[in-house]
Amino acid sequence: MMYRLLADAAMVAHFAFLAYLAVGGFLAWRWRRTIYVHLAVVGWAVLSLVTGVECPLTVVEDWARRKAGQPGLPPSGFVDHYIQGVIYPEQYANLVRLGLAVLVLFSYVGYVLRRQ
Give me the sign of the Cα torsion angle 5, 67, 44, 104.
negative
Which letter does DSSP use for residue 86 in this model? T
* Backbone φ and ψ of 35, nearest 5°: -60, -30
pLDDT (tens digit per residue) in 5-57: 999 999 999 999 999 999 999 999 999 999 999 999 999 999 998 998 888 99
pLDDT (tens digit per residue) in 71-110: 888 887 888 788 887 888 888 888 999 999 999 999 999 9
Residue 88 is which amino acid?
A: Y
Distance CA 40, CA 46 (A): 10
Q: Are 34 and 28 in contact (CB under 8 A)?
A: yes
Q: What is the pTM of this model?
A: 0.87
Angle at the Cα of 63 from the Cα atoms of 90 and 14, rounded to 5 degrees: 50
Residue 73 is which amino acid?
A: L
Q: Are 62 and 72 in contact (CB under 8 A)?
A: yes
